[in-house]
Amino acid sequence: MIARLTIMQFDPARLEEVVQLWHREVVPAAREDEGFVGGYLLTNEGGHGLSITFWETEAAMKRTEETGKYHQVIGKFEAFFRAKPSRMHYRVSLSYDR
């Protein structure tokens, strides 16, 4: 499994707007993608956010970047960002639950 981590900084006064837009735009778009497993959006009151999405394969994850879909969806948040978001890819080496 592969994880894509997107690191964001946004206006903290607009936290709820960011979460609601994420729910309306990112979640449905990701669910349409072949190979999408799941994801998390982590935020704090200081205006920092992490999006972690999980993919069956690296090819499935990269397909969303190569087709432009990732950039199109993340572009809907441009008015909220204080800095350009960055992203990194990771291999999920270990997964555990309670």
Residue 20 pLDDT grade (very low, low, confident, very high; cuts 50, 70, 90): very high
Contact 67, 53 (CB under 8 A): no
Which percentage of the chain shows pLDDT scores above 90?
95
* Nearest-angstrom CA–CA distance, 98 and 95: 11
Q: What average pLDDT does range 4-11 have in this prediction?
A: 96
pTM: 0.90
- Taking only the tens place, the pLDDT of each residue in 79-97 is 999 999 999 999 999 999 8
pLDDT at 23 over 90: yes
CATH architecture of the domain with range 2-91: 2-Layer Sandwich (3.30)
